[in-house]
Amino acid sequence: MAAAIPAEMQWDPVPRMPDWDVGNTQGNDADPIGRFLGYTQGVIIVLGVIGILYSAGKMAIGKLGRSEIAADGVGGVIWTIMGVSLAMVAISVITTLAGV
């Protein structure tokens, strides 16, 4: 029984995140800040698509005879596109300044 127990143990002094192998395509040495910013870009795109669809719904309702709602929908499209563009530029600036 004593032969089954290893005599020496080696410890790795560098702390690492556990590898759970759950869709981790970036490996253990990936930058967590870069991964967070990547997820943030995805969320911004999804919110932009939702904003465009909401504005398109307002324009469709305005087609039925309520022109002020249609005009508000067109304004919403402009605000959505500008907001998404500003957020994407901000992420680019952050990644450049942080060196990620």
* pLDDT score, position 29: 55
Which residues, at least 6 apart from 92, have a Cβ–Cβ distance to it below 8 Å?
Answer: none
pLDDT of residue 23: 54
Q: Which is higher by pLDDT, 94 or 25?
A: 94
- 38 and 60 Cβ atoms separated by less than 8 Å: no
Question: pLDDT tens across 56-86, in order?
Answer: 888 888 878 777 888 888 888 888 999 999 9
Q: Indicate the pLDDT class of residue 9, thresholds 50, 70 and 90.
A: low
Q: What is the pLDDT of residue 50?
A: 92
15-65 pLDDT, tens digit per residue, is 766 555 555 555 545 677 777 888 888 888 899 999 899 888 888 888 787
Sequence-ordered strand ranges (E) for the chain: none
